[in-house]
Structures are given as structure tokens and as C-alpha cells.
A and B are shown apart, each in its own frame.
Chain A
Amino acid sequence: MGSVTSNDTREFLVEKILKNYSNIFDKATSERLALIRRHKVEQPVLYIGTGTCGLIAGADKTLEAVKNYLSQRNLQAEIVRVGCLGLCSAEPLLDVQMPGKARVSFHKATEDKVEGLLNSVFHHSLDPEAVLGQMTHESQEEWPNIPVVSQLPYFSMQQRIILQNAGIISPYLIDDYIANGGYKSLYKTVLNYTSDKVCELVDQSELRGRGGGGYPTGKKWQVTLNTGSDQKYLICNADESDPGAFMNRAIIEGDPHRVLEGIAIASYAIGANNAYIYLRSDYTQSLAILEYAINQAKQYGFLGNNIFGSGFNLNIFIRQGAGAFVCGEETAMIASIEGRRGMPQAKPPYPAEKGLFGHPTIVNNVETLANIPTIIEHGPLWFKSVGTRESKGTKIFSLAGKSTHTGFIEIPMGITIAEIVHSIAGGVKNGKRLKAIQLGGPSGVCIPASNTETAIGYETLQDIDASIGLGGLIILDEDTCMVNLAKYFMGFLQKESCGKCIPCREGTRRMLQILDEVTRRPKEESSHETLERFKGVVELESLARVIRDTSLCGLGQNAPNPVLSSLKWFRDEFEEHIFDRKCQAGMCHDLRTFFIDASVCNGCNICLRKCPEGAIIGSVKMPHFIIESKCTGCGLCFDSCKFNAIYYK
């Protein structure tokens, strides 16, 4: 946990830094600030990325190894736990900053490497292989022949506004955030602006909701501000339940105070005194960091009663989700906070007019709120200068799947998907061919490789029937079966359907059944069953349209997206599954055809005994043979062969 700062430092930061609009400091102040920002350090500083991704990669063991190293050698050094820098595939990350030298970052610093790495840096001779790069500052001496992190291909195309502190400062130290310009916007807001003015500024910035809907944030706030009520609420949506999306977690774990500042400004703008953070239950690390951050902010007087003497009060409560995907929908989330089943309600009335406990409520995504402090600090015009004509600002994406680099990135709107895949993510792993991009989580769409020249933006993506969604970007290579993936998403959505409206509850189940039949090869199929199967497939598309048009909430309306988009771009793959009963990618296990390599098989007889269909023939110590027409593709023989003699096509 973070160290306790002296009252003196706190007073210095609040009085001299936070309350200074000009950002022009005298010499003494600048020097003191450089120390707090760690631009100038008097003893070595070791930074360890201990976000969830880092911990899973073994950062806690690295931390222990570092502590052991220091205590064994009696070395004095500061250890700072930071969030994730964004390049998760390089975790665990260990940064070392020697006095006077630039901060140097080691990638894949597992516990066994710690000793060697620290020896090298303390003896000033780095192994370029072990180094990701260095983070330079004008006052520090650079390491020779070491690349600069911000110039690496993964980082050079990014524009980090929300993530400017992620992986750099400690999420456990509020001082780090204030020293880097934090809480300045809140101070400015509560003392200088009326609620109307804040809504107007955000409206002028043309910021749109980053949670998937893309509704203009300022417009939404104005509705709530203008709705008369004795109580209003703000909910920060951190229920990031899309599989393969983790950017909200990254913001919270990297820079929690930015989120809190955004919540405070938004609450002030709509006139709310109570705010909730609805956090996904699996994010235990984020919960600990948020609780710690809220306490710190309260101690500093940035939350609680009479903030900065303005008379504005704000309490922030954390509510943990309970593992329901549908609770990402705002009305379902409200129901969940109220202690009911997370089932959505028909809109209107919109939550902005009648939401939590019947009062006007704004539900904003973490990323939307994290944008607010910067908009207030630099003004709406500055914010508008980033991005494209229709879509302003930056967007954070999480990169996952079969790319060389994975992690999360913040890019200005307008960059093309191809640039993300090839320049930032380093192309597809192992030199494979790019097949498609899956954008927007389970209810998102697939974009084929031929369409990747599309620029990221709300309108541009709409032109190809896609949407940004929450920002999960999954890279699919040629070994991916699109039918299988559509089935996987449909399975997820079917499980997560809350069951309130029939189109979604029954429709997703039926779609899953149809996809299941497409990817199966029954041993015996009567002509009647074949007919039923074909009928089902024919109806898949019309069923998808009905679900899309008649479901109650966003989950249902978007549920058919993966199927519709796969059908649109990869129809031949569906046809191959249906007519030829083949899966080129080999992901649909039931459609595999097994063969025995006669030159390897020694006739041990194990597969023959295991085969439930009696499809394998052959005598002991002679190569066996699989009768294709009898084989159901269960794979038992493949699993049981000890000599790897069985292969499939």
C-alpha cells in the first residue's frame, strides 16, 4: 500500500499545485514537485506493474523477489506498485529508475530473472534483450542504445489522454495524481462553474458515451439537471462483463483518482449528492484500489461534505455486481442496485428522468467519466481537436486474441482498424493470415479482413453495420472457425439472457440449437431430421431479424449481431458446415475426420477398444484403419493414442 504522506506535502500539493491554475511555478516549487513526481530521485525507485494482468503473470512473486534482493544486500530503494502500462503481453513489468538516470522498463520480469536484471541495472550495463524501453525526461540522463517506450510501435500511434498516468504513477498514492495535475479540474469546477455551465462545456466537447450507446453525454446530463427532484444519482458503470474487454479495469487500476474526479464533476453537473460505482464482482483488485482511493480522497477533502468550501457534498458508494452480463444495461443495473433481479425495463421513462429509487439518474461508463477532468482542464475546443468530424476524442480498446501484442491501447478516433492490427498490435501471431476482427464483445460484430481499412468512429463503423461497443477488439487468424465463434457468442448470450422478454429468451435458445445442429454430425440422420436441419438454417436469418427488432433491451437487440455479421461476410463457411459437413479450421470438433497414419501406428489396439462406434478396424501389431462413414468425430481415439498416429482434417 502507499506510504503515508506528511501533512506538509499534502498542504504543498493542495495549496501550491492544485489551486494554481497557471501551471507556472517558481523554482523552489518546481524542484519540490520534481521530487514528488519522481523526475528527480535520491535513491533507486523500482516500479512493479501489479494490475490484475500483472498479478496473473506473476508480479506478486516478482515483488517478493525484489524485496528479498534489496534486503539481502541492504540496499535502500523505494518500491512503487503501479497499474498496467497497457502492454499486457510483456507482463510482469519491472521498471527501475536510478538517481539521475531515465526510468528503464524490463519486460517479462519473472521472479527468476529479478536478480540478473537488478544486477545489470545497478552495475549500469543493461541487456537490451531484457529491456522493453526507457521513459525519458529532460532532467535525466538517457541509457545508451535503449529504445524510448513512447517511440515503440505499440505506443507511438497511441494518444494517451485518459491513460496518461496508467502504469506510470501509483494508484495507491493520491499525491502522485495531484502532482500530475489531478483534482485541479474539480477545484475549478466547484468554485467557478454552475452546473449549467459544466453541462454546456461537456456538450460543446461533443463527448459521446463510451459504454456502447454513443449518446452525447452533455445532452444526457442536461436532461437530468433540468428534471426537478429532491434527490439525483450518478452511477458509474464499471460492470465490464464482455469477455475479452478489460479497459475499464485498466483505468481503475492505473489511475483510480481520475475516475473519482470524473464522478465528482459529473455529480456536480447534474446536482447529485450520491454516486454509485457498479463494479464487476470478479475485479477484486479494482475494488481494493477504489476503496483505498475513495478513503484518501475523503481525507484530502475532495469527497464528502463541503468540497473545497463550495457547499457541494458528495458520497461515493461501491456496489459489486453479482455476475450478470445483463446488468451492464442501465435499467438492469439500477434494478440490481435497488436489490432486485437485474432485469431491464422498457424505456421511456429514461433513467435520466426516473431512475434509481425513482429519482433522475445518470449512468455513465468509466471511460466516459475519465474523459471529464481533461475536458474541464483543457476546454471543449481542445478535446474536439482530437478525433474525426463526427467522433471526438480518444477511445480505449483492449486487444486480445491472436495478435503478437495484446493489452489495451488508447487511440484517437479516425485511426483505421488495419493500423491497429498491423502497426500497434504487431500483426497476427506466428505469421498467420488475418481473417477477421471481432469488435464489441459477444453482441458485437465480425469485420472481415477486407474491411479493415475502415476508420474507428461512430459513423464510419455504422456504415459497415458495426459499432464500437465497449471497445473489445479480438483479432482472429485463419485458424478461427466463424461458425464456431458465432455459436460460442450465442451460447454466452443465451446463458446471460435474463428471461424477461420472449424474443431474447426463446430466440437465443433456438438460434443456439440451430448453430449446434450445424456444427454436429449425427451418426444416423433420418431424412426428416435432415429436412428439419435445413429448415432451421434457412430460418436462422429471419429469426435473427425478429429478435433484433422485438427484444426489450440492448442485450436482446444486439444478440443476433455475431450471427448476422458472420452470415453476411462468411456465408461460404456456414455453407461448408451445412452441406459438406466440414470445418476447415478444425475448431468444430464434431466435424473432424480422423485418419490413422499407417507408418506410425504400431497396432497397440487401444483406440480400437476405446471407439464407441466400432469405427476402427485392424488386428494387433498391424496398422489400424478408421472407417469414415462410421466415425462420429468424437476424438476419443485421438486422445487415447500414445504414439500420435492419429490426425484429423
Chain B
Amino acid sequence: MTKEKIESILAGYATNKKEGLLPILQDIQAQNGYLTEEILAEVGKYLNLPANKIYGVATFYDQFRFSPCGQFHIRICRGTSCHLFGSSTYLERLETGLKVKAGHVSRDKKVSIEITSCMGACESAPVIRVNDEYHTHVTEEGLKALIQSIKEKTK
């Protein structure tokens, strides 16, 4: 992300006002996909806050990422309902099948897995979201097919 772009986002917020920190970081992440040290430093200068404080806040919240998502960003719901329908097994299957650990990106930067606490679609449990596409009522076979299709697309 260029410095100009960060500045254009920051211009929408009042300087020196700490309360704008989370919205600023959310805005930047929405456009850039993730946060970097340079971005935190820029934001720090603008809000007159030490960068380490900002880093402390950003790492406290699950929403902020410090590395880009993969081309296929898989979000698996680990809510209670999905858990009852076996999402823990499916998470293991995804991790071993695609060789990526949850919360990480594969070496070729093509696949990443993220755990979400609840997507609020408990009636469709278990739910897996790949980029913007939802896979509901996931079964063993369905997951196998999903893993296979992702593997083929990332070859």
C-alpha cells in the first residue's frame, strides 16, 4: 500500500483522536487486505500514538491480519452448532488435505484457512466459506470434492 493511499484514508479521520484507531485499521485492512509495520507507523504518526501501542491493539483483536490471505481463503465455522455436526474433523481434513494450518497461508500463497467463531447460519451447519462462496451442510464426500477442486485450481 502506497503512502499516498494511507494518507487518503487517514484524511477522513480526526488527528490525535485515539478513538479513530480501530475504524482506521479496519478501513485500511478492507482496502489492503492486511496490515504491515509501515502502515502502523504511519497511523501512529497521524494519531500521535507510539507504533508499539497500535501494534498491541491490532494484535489483541482477531480481525486484524499481518499477512495477506491466500488466493483461496477458506473460512471454517467453529460455532457450537457446527461443532456438533463435526466441524472439528472437517478442520483436520482441510488442514491435512491442503497442507495448511489454520491461521496460516500455504507456501505458494494460494490457500489460507481461517477459523471463525460463528457465521450465524447454524441451520446450515457445518458451514465452510471459500472466498465469497458458502458451502452448507458439508459432508465428508462434499469436503473431499471441495479439497480436490481447490487442489486442482491451485496446481
Asked if A18 CB lies within 8 Å of chain B CBs, one says: no
Q: Is the CB of A474 within 8 A of B84?
A: yes
Q: Is the CB of A338 within 8 A of B61?
A: no
Q: Is the CB of A57 within 8 A of B121?
A: yes
> Which of these binds chain B: A370-378, A396-404, A451-459?
A396-404
> Which of these binds chain A: B4-12, B15-23, B104-112?
B15-23
Closest B residue to A489 by CB, please name it. B80
Closest A residue to B127 by CB, please name it. A56
Minimum Cβ distance to chain A for residue B115 (Å): 9
Q: On chain A, which size bracket covers the interface?
A: 35 or more
The docked-state distance in angstroms from the alpha carbon of A339 to that of B19 is 4
Minimum Cβ distance to chain A for residue B49 (Å): 9
Closest A residue to B29 by CB, please name it. A322
Closest A residue to B79 by CB, please name it. A243
When each residue 335-366 of chain A gets 1 if its CB lies under 8 Å from chain B and 0 otherwise, what string results? 01111111000000000000001000000000
Asked if B83 CB lies within 8 Å of chain A CBs, one says: yes
Q: Which of A89, A339, A488, A589 contacts B83 (CB 8 A)?
A: A488
Contacts of B89 in A (CB 8 A): 589
Asked if B98 CB lies within 8 Å of chain A CBs, one says: no
Asked if A200 CB lies within 8 Å of chain B CBs, one says: no
Closest A residue to B86 by CB, please name it. A587
Q: Is the CB of B57 within 8 A of A244?
A: no
Asked if A476 CB lies within 8 Å of chain B CBs, one says: yes
Asked if B31 CB lies within 8 Å of chain A CBs, one says: no
Minimum Cβ distance to chain A for residue B69 (Å): 15
Closest B residue to A281 by CB, please name it. B63
Contacts of A323 in B (CB 8 A): 61-63, 117
Q: Is the CB of B57 within 8 A of A52?
A: no
Q: Is the CB of A322 within 8 A of B22?
A: yes
Q: Is the CB of B118 within 8 A of A242?
A: yes
Contacts of B119 in A (CB 8 A): 52, 56, 282
Q: Is the CB of A339 within 8 A of B60?
A: no
Asked if A368 CB lies within 8 Å of chain B CBs, one says: no
Q: A160-186: which residues lie under 8 A (CB-CB) from chain B? A: none
Contacts of A624 in B (CB 8 A): none
Q: Is the CB of B117 within 8 A of A340?
A: no
Q: Is the CB of B117 within 8 A of A88?
A: no
**Given A243-B80, A244-B79, 12 new contacts (CB under 8 A):** A57-B121, A243-B78, A243-B118, A321-B63, A322-B63, A322-B64, A324-B62, A339-B22, A400-B81, A401-B122, A442-B80, A489-B80
8 pairs of A and B residues whose beta carbons are closest in the complex = A322-B61, A400-B122, A243-B79, A323-B62, A339-B21, A243-B118, A244-B80, A88-B123
The 28 listed contacts between A and B (C-beta, < 8 Å) are A52-B119, A56-B121, A56-B134, A57-B121, A241-B117, A241-B118, A242-B118, A243-B78, A243-B80, A243-B83, A243-B117, A244-B79, A244-B80, A246-B120, A249-B120, A321-B63, A322-B61, A322-B62, A323-B63, A338-B18, A339-B21, A339-B22, A340-B57, A438-B80, A441-B80, A474-B81, A474-B84, A589-B89
